[in-house]
Amino acid sequence: EIVLTQSPATLSLSPGERATLSCRASQSVSSYLAWYQQKPGQAPRLLIYDASNRATGIPARFSGSGSGTDFTLTISSLEPEDFAVYYCQQRSNQFTFGPGTKVDIK
């Protein structure tokens, strides 16, 4: 099983600041990594797939990068609605998710 590690666990920032979230895989997942945003009481929402492709309707301030074992989700300028929990996810022979990074208001 491929284990995903996310850092930091919590990121405290102000609106307008840049957020940089990290996801590391225990072995290579090529570019098959996705990012999701989850707000309280809601299902996760797909943001980025295949490491760097924005999903339909996702604003350009969200971007993803990386390959192999190290990946980054960047939010260029935080909007009030971006404060949420972010999960990375990979699929090798099975799907696994990272533990999440909470982006909260400083």
Binding residues for other proteins, per CB under 8 A? 1, 32, 34, 36, 42-46, 49-50, 55, 87, 89, 91, 94-100
Instruction: Give whichever of 14 and 43 is closer to other proteins, judged by the CB atom.
Output: 43
Nearest distance from residue 54's CB to other proteins, in Å? 12
* Smaller CB separation from other proteins, 19 or 100: 100
Distance in angstroms (rounded) separating the CA atoms of residues 43 and 57: 16
> Which residue's CB is nearer to other proteins, number 35 or number 83?
35
The DSSP call for residue 56 is T
Q: Which residues are CB-contacts of 2 (< 8 A; sequence separation ≥ 6)?
A: 25, 26, 27, 29, 90, 92, 96
